[in-house]
Amino acid sequence: MERTLLGALFLITQVAQAQNEIPNAGFESWSAMNPVSWTTSNIPGSSNPVTQSSDAVEGASSVRGEVVIAPDGVSPFPPVLLLGVIPPAVPVTQAYTALTGMYKLAPVGGDEMLVEASLFDASSQLVAIASAHLPASTAWSSFSIPFDYDMGPSMQAPASIQMVMTVEDGAGSAGTGTVFHVDDLALSGGAIGISEGAIEEGPVSLYPNPSNGRDVQVSWNDGAMRSFVVTDISGRVLHRTSSAMNKVLLPASSWAPGMHFLSSQEGDDQRVLRLLITH
C-alpha cells in the first residue's frame, strides 16, 4: 500500500525493554472498588463484575473480571476495564512495539478475552492498534500483542494510549460465569522518532508484511541499483544488501519478533519502510 510519510523516520538507539508508562499496571492500587486510573463497568450497589484479587503474579493483587448477571436479572453483564478512554488522557513518550502482560481465563462456551490498546498522536489521531482475543488458560500465561502501525492514518509520534479489556464470544455476547485475571501490564520496545521532511514509500514494497515466520521480498519498479539496510528497534543492523534486479529477499525468518526498519537508498532518494515480524 502506498503511503506518504509526514516525517522521515529515524531510529532512537534504545534497547527494547518493558516500560511502565501504563499507570497502575500491576493493579496494586484500588479506590471505591475500582483499580486506580482505570474505569470499569461496575455499578455501585448493583453489579461489580470487576474486583480486586489476591491471586497475583507479582505484588499483592491483580484484577479479576467475571461475567455476572445484569441488574435486569436475566442478561449477562461482562467485565470491562478502560484506560484513557474517559479523560484524562494517558500520555506515552515512545512508539512502542507491543503490549505485554500476564493473564488467566476460565471461559464459558466460546468466550475469549479481548485485549486492545490504541496509540494516538497529539491531535488525537490514531497511530497504531494492538488487538487480540486471548484463549483459555487455567494457569498464569504471558501475552505479547504487537502494535500494527499500518492500521493508523497518522504517521506522527504517539502521545497517548487507550486500552480496553473485556470478555466476548464470536457473536458479541458473553457467558455468565466466565472469569479472567490480568496482572503486570507493560509496553515493550521504543522505536520510532519523526523529523521534518517527506518520503514516498510507493516505489518500494514489502511482502509479506507483517511476516509470520517467512522471508520477505522487497520489490521496486524503477530498474535502479538500490542499497538496503535492515535495523531492529534498538538500531542494530541486521542485514545489508544491494541489487539492480528489482527484487531482493530478506532473511526475515531468522529475526526476532517486533518492529524493524528497512532503509532503501538510490542516489539521493532514501526511503524508510516499517516491517513487522510476528513469529
Q: What is the CATH number of the domain that holds 241?
A: 2.60.40.3080
Distance CA 194, CA 12 (A): 10
Residue 159 lies in a domain: yes
Same domain? For 203 and 159 the reply is no
Domain co-membership, 160 together with 228: no
List C-alpha distances in Å: 115 to 17, 22, 92, 106, 185: 20, 14, 18, 15, 11
Domain of residue 61 covers 17-190
Q: Which of 4, 273, 37, 49 is nearest to 161 (CA)?
A: 37
pLDDT one digit per residue (tens) for the chain, 279 residues:
333 332 333 333 333 344 579 999 999 999 989 999 999 999 988 899 999 999 999 999 999 999 999 988 889 999 999 999 988 889 998 888 889 999 999 999 999 999 999 999 899 989 889 999 999 999 999 999 988 887 777 777 789 999 999 999 877 788 999 999 999 999 987 543 333 222 334 578 888 888 887 899 998 887 788 899 888 766 678 999 999 888 999 999 898 887 788 888 887 777 778 788 876
Q: What CATH number should be reported for the domain holding residue 29?
A: 2.60.120.890
Confirm whether 2 is domain-assigned: no
Whether residue 249 sits in one domain with residue 120: no
Q: What pTM was estimated for this model as a whole?
A: 0.65
